[in-house]
Structure 1
Amino acid sequence: MSLEFTLCLITLVGLAGIGTPIAYSILLASFVYLLTAGQSIGLAGKVLMDGLYQSFILLAVPLFIVAANIMNAGTISDRLLRFCIGLVGRFKGGMGHVNVVASLIFSGMSGSAVADAAGIGKIIIEMMVKSGHYTRGYAAAITAASATIGPIIPPSIPMVLYALVSNTSIGYLFLGGIVPGLFMGVVLMGMNWWMSHIRKFGTEEPVPLSELPQLTVRAFPALLMPAILLYGIYGGVTTPTEAAAVAAFYALLLAAFFYRALKLRAFYDILVESARSSAAVGLVIGGALILNYIVASENIPNMMAGYLVDLDVSPLMFLLSVNLLILLLGCVLDATTIILVIIPLFLPACRELGIDLVHFGVVAVVNCMIGLITPPYGILLFVINAVTSIPLAEIIREVLPFLAVLLLALMTLILVPGIVLWLPRMFGYIG
C-alpha cells in the first residue's frame, strides 16, 4: 500500500471521526490522494462524469425516492394501513403484526427503510401507543425492525447501488430479495407473537370479516404497484430505470387523481424534499466513484483476492468473515457508504472463491439493513427518535429481541443460499 493511499485513508477516517459528512470525507480524502500522487484534480471530475454516464441505472434512485414520498404524502399509506389492520389485526399482538405486514407491503413501493420508518411507521407507532396495549418503546422498536425489510423486497435502492458496483443483473437481485424479505417478516411476526404472550399485551377489537372485501377494494390500486413494477422488469416491458419512472408516475396518478389526496403545493414540497434526498445520495455516489478508481489504481481488490486464495479460505468462512465486518461497520456507517466503498473490495475475492454475486449482494444488503437498528448508532433508531420524541434508551432496550431474530435470519440466508437464489433460478438465472 503506497504512502499516498495511506494518507488518503488517514484523511478519510480522521474526517469521518470528527463528524464530517461521509460524502465530504470521501471527496476530500480522494483529493488528498490525487494531490500527493501528483495527479490532476481534474481527473476526479473525469472519473465522476464517466461513472455517471455509464450508469443509467442510477436514475432509478431519485425516481424511487419520489414514489416513496408521494406514497407518504397522499392517503395511500392510510388505506394500506386499514387493509393491514383488517387482515392481521385480529390476532394476538395484532398491531405489531400490522406493523410488519404494512412494512412488507409498503416496501414494494418505497425501496427505502428511512422512508418506511418516518412515514407509515410513525402513524403505526401512534396507533399502537394510543391503543394502550403496547409501551411506546416496544412500538418504536418493532417499527424500526420491520422498516429494515423495506430495501430487501423490490424495489430496493441499496440493490440498485450494489448492481452498479458489481455489474450484477438488477432484475435477478430484485427477485433474490423477495423470499428473504418475506422470511424476515415471518421471523419478526413470530417474535412479536411470542413477546405479546410473554408480556400479556392486549388484543385489538377485530375488524369484522364482512368489511375486509371493502378494505381490499379501497387498497387494491395501491397494492397493484409492486405487481406493475415486477411485471415491467421481468416481463421485458421496461428496464429497472423505466420501471422506477412508471412507479413514480403511477404513485402520482393514484394520489392526485384517483384518491384526490395530493395538492399542488404538497407535490412541490415532495419534489424539493426528493431532490434533497437524491442529492445527499448522489454526493456519496460521486465520492465513491472517485475512491473506487483510486482503490482500483492501487490494485487493492485483486491483492486481497490473491491473498485470500493463497490462505485457502473456504467460501463459507469468507462469507461469515465479510458479513461480520459489514455488521460491525453498519453500526457506524450508512448502507450507501458500505455498498459503494467497502463491498467492491471483496467482489474479486467472491469471483475467485466461486461465491454467487446475487447471493452475496442480497445477503450484504440484508446485513446493512440490520446495521440500521444496531445500537448505539443505528440510523433508524435516531430517525424514529426524531419523528416521535420517544427516548433513545427505551427504543434500544426494546429492539434487542428483534435484532437477535434478524441476526438468526441473516445466518440462515448465509448458510442456505437456495433461499435467495430459488426465485432467480425459476426465472432463468444460471449463476
Structure 2
Amino acid sequence: MSFAFTACLLILLGLAAIGMPIALAMILAAIGYVGFAGQNLSLPAEQMTLGLYDNFILLAVPLFIVAANIMNAGSISDRLLKFCVALVGRFRGGLGLVNVVANIIFAGMSGSAVADAAGLGKVIIDMMRKDGRYPPAYAAAITAAASTIGPIIPPSIPMVMYSLVSGASIGALFAGGIIPGFLMGLMLMIMNYWAARRRGFGLDEPVPVRELPKLTVNAFPALLMPVILLYGIYGGVTTPTEAAAVAAFYALLLAAFFYRALSARTLYEVLRGSAMSSASVGLVIGGALIFNYIVASENIPTKVAGVIDAMHVTPLAFLLIVNAMVLVLGCLLDASTIILVIVPLFIPAAKVLHIDLVHFGVVVVVNCMIGLITPPYGIVLFVLNGITGIPLRDMIREVWVFVLALVVALVIMIVEPGIVLWLPHLLGYAS
C-alpha cells in the first residue's frame, strides 16, 4: 500500500470520525490522495463528473425517489393500509401482519427503506398503539424491520448502485430480489405471530368481508404500479431507467387526478424534497466513484482476489465471511457507502470463485438493509424516532428479535442460491 493511499485512508477515517458527511470525507480524502501521489488535482472532479453523467442507469435513482415521495404525499399509502387491514387485520397480531404486508406492497413502488418507513411509519404505528393494543416501541420496531423489504422487492435504489459498481444486470437483480423480499416478509410475520401469542396481543376488530371489494377497488390503481414496472422491464418495453420515469409519472397521475390528493403546493414540496434527496445520494455516488478510481489505481481488488484464491476458500465460506463483515460494518456505515466503496473490493474475488454476481449482489443488499435497523447507526430507527417521538432506547430493545428473523432469512439466501436466481433464470438470465 503506497504512502498516498495510506494518507487517503487516514484522512477519510479522521474526517468521518469528527462527523463530516461520508460523501464529503471521500471527496476530500481523494483530493489528498492525488496531491500526495503527484497527480493532477482536477482528477477527482473529472472522475466524479464523468462517472455521474456517463451512467444512464443512475437517472433511475432520482426518478424512484420522486415516485416514492408522491406516493407518500398523495394519500396512496393510506388507501393501501386500509386494504391491508381488511385483508389480514383479522388474525392474531393482525396489525403487525398489516405492517409487513403493507411494506411488501409499498416495496413495489418506492425502492427506499427510509421512504417506506417515513411514508407508512407514523400512520401504522399510531394505529398499532391506539388504545394500548401494542407497545409503542414494538410497533416502531416491526415497522423499521418491515421497511427493509422496500429496497429488495423491485424497484430498488441500492440495487441500481450495486449494478453501477459490479456491471451485473439491473433487470436480473430486480428479479432476483422478489422471492428474497417475500422470504423476509414471511420471517417477520412468523416472528410477529410468535410475539403476539407469547405477549398476549389481542385480536383486532375485523373489517366486514362485504367491505373488502370496495377497499380493493379503491386500492387497485396503486396496486397496479408494481405490475406496470415489472411488465415494462421484463416484457422488454422499457429499460429500468425508463421504468423509473413511468413509475414517477404514474404516481403523479394517481395522486393528482385519480385520487385528487395532490395540490400544486404539495407537488412543489415533493419535487423540492426529492431534489434535495437526489443531490445527497448523488454526492455519495460521486465520492464513491472517485474512491473506486483510487482503489483500482492501487490494484487492491486484484490483491484481495489473489489472497482469497491463495487461501483456497470455498464459495460458501467466502459468502459467509463477507456477509459477516458487511453485517458488522452495517452497524457503523450507511448502506450506500458499503455498496459503493466496500463491496467492489470483493467483486473480483467473487468472480475468481465463480459466484454469480446477481446472487452476491442481492444477499449483500439484503445485508445492508439489515444494517439500517442495527444500532448505533440504524438510520431507519432515527427516522421513526423523529416522526413518532418513541424513545430510541425502547425501539432498540424491541428490534433485536426482528433483526434475528432477517438474519435467518439472509443465511437461507446465502446457503441456497436458487432462492435468488430461480426467477432471473426463468426470465432468461444466464449466470
Give the TM-score band, short-chain normalised: over 0.9
Residue of structure 1 equivalent to 2:176 = 176
Residue of structure 1 equivalent to 2:80 = 80
CA distance in 1, matches of 2:105, 2:307: 43
CA distance in 2, matches of 1:234, 1:324: 33
| One-letter amino acid of the structure 1 residue matched with residue 108 of structure 2 | G
Q: Does 1:165 align with 2:165?
A: yes
Q: Does 1:2 align with 2:25?
A: no
Residue of structure 2 equivalent to 1:35 = 35
Matches within 5 A, 1:53-72: 53-72=53-72
1:50 CA drift (Å): 1.9
1:233–1:239 CA contact under 8 A, matched in 2: yes
1:225 CA drift (Å): 0.2
Residue of structure 2 equivalent to 1:185 = 185
- 1:83-126 CA-to-partner distances (Å, cap 9, x unmatched) read 00000000000000000000000011000000000111211001
Q: Does 1:105 align with 2:121?
A: no
Residue of structure 2 equivalent to 1:46 = 46
Secondary structure at 2:174's aligned position in 1?
helix
CA distance in 2, matches of 1:330, 1:257: 41
1:430 CA drift (Å): 1.5
Structure 1 runs, 4 residues or longer, greater than 3 Å off: none
Matches within 5 A, 1:388-399: 388-399=388-399
Residue of structure 2 equivalent to 1:286 = 286
Residue of structure 1 equivalent to 2:334 = 334
2:330–2:368 CA contact under 8 A, matched in 1: yes
1:210 CA drift (Å): 1.1
1:428 CA drift (Å): 1.1
- 1:57-77 CA-to-partner distances (Å, cap 9, x unmatched) read 000000000000000001111
Matches within 5 A, 1:298-317: 298-317=298-317
- 1:212-266 CA-to-partner distances (Å, cap 9, x unmatched) read 1111000000000000000000000000000000000000000000000000000
Q: Does 1:429 align with 2:425?
A: no
Secondary structure at 1:119's aligned position in 2?
helix
Secondary structure at 2:177's aligned position in 1?
helix
1:311 CA drift (Å): 1.2
1:373–1:380 CA contact under 8 A, matched in 2: yes
Please list every run of 5 or more consecutive structure 1 residues that lacks an aligned counterpart in the other structure: none
2:308–2:349 CA contact under 8 A, matched in 1: yes
CA distance in 1, matches of 2:314, 2:72: 45
| One-letter amino acid of the structure 2 residue matched with residue 199 of structure 1 | R
Aligned length: 431
2:5–2:33 CA contact under 8 A, matched in 1: yes
TM-score (norm 1): 0.99
TM-score (norm 2): 0.99
CA distance in 2, matches of 1:117, 1:322: 27
1:131 CA drift (Å): 4.1
- 1:277-310 CA-to-partner distances (Å, cap 9, x unmatched) read 0000000000000110010000000011011101
1:335 CA drift (Å): 0.6
Q: Does 1:377 align with 2:377?
A: yes
1:375 CA drift (Å): 2.0
CA distance in 1, matches of 2:123, 2:44: 44
CA distance in 2, matches of 1:192, 1:163: 33
Identity percentage of aligned residues: 68
CA distance in 2, matches of 1:358, 1:176: 7
Please list every run of 5 or more consecutive structure 2 residues that lacks an aligned counterpart in the other structure: none
- 1:32-72 CA-to-partner distances (Å, cap 9, x unmatched) read 00101111121112212221232100000000000000000
Q: Does 1:232 align with 2:228?
A: no
CA distance in 2, matches of 1:53, 1:276: 18
Residue of structure 2 equivalent to 1:248 = 248
Q: RMSD across aligned C-alpha pairs, in angstroms? A: 0.7
1:133–1:203 CA contact under 8 A, matched in 2: no
CA distance in 2, matches of 1:376, 1:200: 30
Q: Does 1:208 align with 2:208?
A: yes
- 1:365-416 CA-to-partner distances (Å, cap 9, x unmatched) read 0000001111222111111111111001110011111111111111111000
CA distance in 2, matches of 1:7, 1:198: 54
Residue of structure 2 equivalent to 1:258 = 258
1:338 CA drift (Å): 0.6
Residue of structure 2 equivalent to 1:119 = 119
CA distance in 2, matches of 1:316, 1:53: 37
CA distance in 1, matches of 2:377, 2:166: 27
